[in-house]
Homo-oligomer: A and B are copies of this chain.
Amino acid sequence: MTGDRVRDRADVVGDLHEEVGVSLARCDYRYTAGRRRIVDALADAGKPITLPDILAAAPELAPSSVYRNLDVLERSGVVQRIAAAGAHSFFEFAEPLISHHHHLICIDCGIIEDFRLDDDMERRVDSGLLEAAGKAGFTPLRHSVDLHGYCAACA
């Protein structure tokens, strides 16, 4: 059983790396060891993290390279940058790699966690937004729904 579980996890991570590799290749980027380390850090975190978080998880990486590689990963559609109130931006996998979700943002410690709305709600929100966008002459690409408050640890 334990063996199966490990095998499953390895497969999931393997699939992730493969998908990332394909996305990078599509943009003529290489999937280097440093980029792999970043992807691993994001996968291990399971929630949006900042550049210092990534450096903490992979101290052997040069900060400037991480910045550059996050940029590359963003351009190739692998990660998405989340603008935050604090000093640092947050990064997480972009949508084809992670299912559609939204963010709980703690206004005290700044942590960001993911949550999902049920499909019905999501559909309703989406159609409501499409309507509002149309009225304003906007061409919508995606939406974000954030909940600001106190996380369990800071409440």
Contacts and interface: CB of A to CB of B under 8 A. Distances in A.
A144 to B, nearest CB: 5
A149 B104 CA distance: 22
A37 to B, nearest CB: 25
A148 B80 CA distance: 13
Given A81-B85, A139-B155, A132 B148 contact: no
A146 B103 CA distance: 12
Interface in A16-43: none
Contacts of A98: none
Given A115-B135, A124-B124, A141 B107 contact: yes
Interface residues of A, number: 39
B140 A115 contact: no
Nearest to A143: B147
A131 B147 CA distance: 11
A103 to B, nearest CB: 10
Interface of A: 81, 83-85, 102, 104, 106-107, 113, 115-118, 121, 124-125, 128-129, 132-133, 135-152, 155
20 contacts: A104-B136, A115-B132, A115-B133, A115-B135, A118-B128, A121-B125, A121-B128, A129-B145, A129-B147, A137-B155, A138-B147, A138-B149, A138-B150, A138-B151, A141-B149, A142-B149, A143-B148, A144-B145, A144-B146, A145-B145
